[in-house]
Amino acid sequence: KTSLKLRIVQFLSTGFYSGYFPFAPGTAGSAVAVIFLGAIYFYFPVLISFEGRIAVAAVITLLAIISAD
């Protein structure tokens, strides 16, 4: 039985389980990323600026590093 922490990390690190899609998992992951970033920019339009994009990229990178540990 896997722990809740491990399941959460697996859920996030596989792009909401899109990495397990049986056909073209990379394409499914890209689609999830586009939807996710589209939602971020829709709800937080200030992030469309260059500085906002850098901030979003930094936060996503930090979350990826943490989930990989």
pLDDT digits (tens, 9 = 90+) for 30-60: 999 899 888 988 898 887 888 888 988 899 8
**How distant, in Å, are the alpha carbons of 57, 59, 65, 68 from that of 38?**
14, 16, 22, 24
pTM across the whole model: 0.66
54 is written with which tokens? 């850098």
pLDDT at 48: 81
Quickly count: other Cβ atoms within 10 Å of residue 28's Cβ.
18
pLDDT at 27: 93
